[in-house]
Amino acid sequence: MKTIISVIGKDTVGIISKVSAVCSKYNVNIVDITQSVLQDILVMVMLTEISELSCSFSDFSDEMKQLGTNLGLDIRVMHEDIFNSMHRI
């Protein structure tokens, strides 16, 4: 199963590294990363493969959310199908 991790907030040093560290900790493979920075606001999107996830999806999602809270960012982990169904026919 593939998920999209979206990160929105003020750009600072080490965001990708910290998000990637959580992915690595739970055996989540990063398939693709895109990002853009507009007026100091970072929008980063990661496509990840979580079929080998070493914890429950809920715990992984909660830890990302907590990381976001700690860094003052909005981090969400969402199944890619929601984007596919909304934007592709």
Partner 1 sequence: MININDIMETVTMISHENLDIRTVTMGISLLDCADSDINKSCDKIYEKITRLAGNLVKVGCDIEKEYGIPIINKRISVTPIAMLAAASGGDPVKYAKALQKAADATGVNFIGGYSALVHKGFSAGDENLIRSIPEALSITNNICSSVNIGSTKSGINMDAVKLMGQIIRQSAALTKDKNCIGPAKLVVFCNAPEDNPFMAGAFHGTGEPDCVIHVGVSGPGVVHSALKRCPDGDLGDVAEVIKRTAFKITRMGQLVGTEASKRLGVPFGIVDLSLAPTPAVGDSVARILEEMGLESCGTHGTTAALALLNDAVKKGGVMASSSVGGLSGAFIPVSEDAGMIEAARNGDLKIEKLEAMTAVCSVGLDMIVIPGDTPCETISAIIADEAAIGMVNSKTTAVRVIPAIGRKQGEELNFGGLLGEGPVMPLNLDKSPAKFINRGGRIPAPMQSLKN
Residues lying near partner 1 in the complex (CB under 8 A) are found at 4, 6, 8, 31-32, 34, 36, 43, 45, 47, 57-58, 61, 74, 76-88
Nearer to partner 1, 19 or 77 (CB): 77
62 forms beta bridges with none
Residues 42 and 85: their CA atoms lie apart, in Å, by 25
Nearer to partner 1, 21 or 82 (CB): 82
CB of 31 to partner 1, least distance (A): 8
Q: Which of 7, 23, 17 is nearest to 55 (CA)?
A: 23
CB of 29 to partner 1, least distance (A): 14
Nearer to partner 1, 17 or 88 (CB): 88
CB of 79 to partner 1, least distance (A): 5
Is residue 52 classed as helix, strand or coil in its secondary structure?
coil
